[in-house]
Amino acid sequence: MAEKTLFELSSPGRQAWSLPKLDAPPVDAGEAARSANELPELSEVDVARHFTRLSIMNHHVDKGFYPLGSCTMKYNPKVNELACRMPGFSSLHPLEPETLTQGALRLMYELAEMLGQITGFDAVTLAPAAGAHGELTGIMMVRKYFEKRGEQRDVVLVPDSAHGTNPASVTLSGFKAVQIKSNAKGEIDPDELERACSSCVACLMVTNPNTLGIFEPEAKRICDIMHKQGSLVYLDGANLNAYMGIHRPADAGFDVMHINLHKTFSTPHGGGGPGSGPVAVTEALEPFLPKPVVKHEDGKYRFDYDRPDSIGRVMGFHGQFAVLVRAYTYIRMLGSAGLKDAAEAAVLNANYVRAGLEGVYELPYKDRCLHEVVFSGSGLREYGIKTLDVAKRLLDHGMHAPTIYFPLIVPEALMIEPTETESRESLDEFIAAMKQIADEARTNPDVLRQAPVTTPVRRLDEARASRELDVNWQPTS
Ligand SMILES: *Cc1c(COP(=O)(O)O)cnc(C)c1O
């Protein structure tokens, strides 16, 4: 099932176009034309088939179920693509004057407003390019906030269930990350927090619902404990899909959060595609937002650069604009009632999977979950089967594997996030496949160790691509 490169498929003289015979004297187009001669020569059908074959070799959300926990791989409505490809948006240059870009500025202004309404915060920046970049931006703002107040605080508390990007963002912005242990239910223990929080703590980074898919029942108390010490609370909002339209984090007392537009608001991601990680803040943090900020005055939209306390720029231009258009379209198409429906269906679907697989795989945290559920494959160890084998076998069923070995506090973790866009039929198919795999582990474990057998490539060395990066194709002749 290997696919040759376009260079290997090339045949001299083949072309995808035919132009009328030149009726003017030829000119030498120089070096550019000579290097164009080294490009592959193919007919249009060669090109179309090559890319179609490539597109179906890989798994993607248009092809099948994609329950990759923590990533919200929901279906991306095609109307989002239609909107962001309108020439008025797609041909826009970021240096065009504001008089010619009022529509784009209005879209940014309104998107920031809508995100403020959804989360309950006072101000939003759309600049950060991904969730992790949003974390960094938010933590830099926290830093600036304490600098401005003349307070020396160098610690950020991070629960042991946190996403790996949390401690990374903390360290990168010059703070010291201190881990706090979750309780037996996988939640933050307010008493433990009370002990850990002191006047050297700048903030706590919370993911809610946490990476076990469990809503922190004490979110408000947690914020109160931190505020009593003058500390702030950062919310990792990557899981906003579980409660948009239902709960506004600012109401619980959070001070700053990032939003993953590419997850919650349905823009294609994965495989290194572009993302967007807006950051929402309370009034107290507003002066520190990155510049520029879009303002609306006297019926006109403009960029405001005159922000003396800003942390500065975090992007070359104004954020991932095409992702902003997609998210804007998604929100406007659904409206507030639609967003709430989507969140409720995401939670229902995850609980449907939880109920369907309870007893088949171990469920270390038994509470009802929100938008994702974490099982453990450790019950299969006695047959010599690892979670990795289960994940590989799912590929033979034409489904993407769940996230595995994360969160770290669950051994042999299988983190499943079905999202709201899956039908009951596709959830049933997934549950049946997972049951069959658990049976195979007992009766024919070798099948699992050999899996996958139906994919273009079998088991890959998990680390080699990063250790020996080689992306340069060389002709063999
Ligand atoms: C995805 C995710 C992030 C990071 O977001 P990116 O856009 O991938 O950088 C951070 N925290 C949580 C909980 C996530 O799920």
What digits encode the pLDDT tens for the residues 303-332? 999 999 999 999 989 999 999 999 999 999
Between 376 and 16, residue with greater pLDDT: 376
Peptide bond into 452 cis (omega under 30): yes
State how far the Cα of 25 lies from the Cα of 8, in Å rounded to an integer: 34
DSSP state of 422: -
Residues of the chain with CATH 3.90.1150.10: 336-466
Q: Is the pLDDT of residue 34 over 80?
A: no
Question: Would you state the pLDDT for residue 272?
Answer: 63
Q: Would you call 445 exposed, middle or buried from its count of C-beta atoms within 10 A (0-12, 13-18, 19+)?
A: middle
What residue owns the CA closest to ligand 1's atom 5?
131
What residue owns the CA closest to ligand 1's atom 6?
131
State how far the Cα of 121 lies from the Cα of 233, in Å rounded to an integer: 13
Residues of the chain with CATH 3.40.640.10: 79-333
Give the distance (Å) from ligand 1 centre to CA of residue 163.
7
Between 33 and 242, residue with greater pLDDT: 242
User: Which of 34-38, 394-398, 467-471 has maximum average pLDDT?
Assistant: 394-398
* Number of helices (H), then strands (E), in the chain: 17, 12
pLDDT in tens, 157-180: 999 888 889 999 999 999 999 999
Question: Would you state the pLDDT for residue 39?
Answer: 87
**Contacting residues for 443 by C-beta, under 8 A, at least 6 apart:** none
Architecture of domain 336-466: Alpha-Beta Complex (3.90)
Give the distance (Å) from ligand 1 centre to CA of residue 342.
20
Binning pLDDT at 50, 70 and 90, where does residue 1 land? low
Determine the 3-state secondary structure of 381 from DSSP: helix
Q: Is the pLDDT of residue 475 over 90?
A: no
Cβ < 6 Å from ligand 1: which residues? Answer: 70, 130-132, 163, 165, 207, 211, 236, 238-239, 260, 275, 277
Supply the pTM of this predicted model: 0.92
Binning pLDDT at 50, 70 and 90, where does residue 375 land? very high
Binning pLDDT at 50, 70 and 90, where does residue 138 land? very high
Q: Which residues of 32-45 are buried (b: 16+ CB within 10 A; e: fewer)?
A: eeeeeeeeebbeee
Average pLDDT over residues 223-249: 97
Average pLDDT value for the chain? 94
Q: Which of 137, 163, 240, 417 gets mutated to test ligand 1 (max ligand atoms within 8 A of its CB)?
A: 163
Order of strands across the sheet with 413-416?
A: 373-376, 413-416, 403-404
pLDDT in tens, 74-109: 999 999 999 999 999 999 999 999 999 999 999 999
pLDDT in tens, 429-453: 999 999 999 999 999 999 999 999 9
Phi, psi (degrees; rounded to nearest 5) at 135: -60, -50
Question: Would you state the pLDDT for residue 471?
Answer: 84
pLDDT in tens, 178-197: 999 988 888 999 999 999 98
Architecture of domain 79-333: 3-Layer(aba) Sandwich (3.40)
Q: What are the C-alpha distances in Å from 14 to residues 18, 31, 37, 431, 477? A: 10, 22, 12, 49, 20
DSSP state of 361: B
Index of the ligand 1 atom closest to the CA of residue 132: 9
Give the distance (Å) from ligand 1 centre to CA of residue 412.
21
Q: What are the C-alpha distances in Å from 308 to residues 290, 291, 311, 404, 455? A: 10, 10, 9, 45, 55
pLDDT in tens, 323-368: 999 999 999 999 999 999 999 999 999 999 999 999 999 999 988 9
What residue owns the CA closest to ligand 1's atom 2?
238
Binning pLDDT at 50, 70 and 90, where does residue 413 land? very high
**Contacting residues for 357 by C-beta, under 8 A, at least 6 apart:** 363, 375, 431, 434, 435
Average pLDDT over residues 22-29: 87
* Single-letter residue type at 426: S
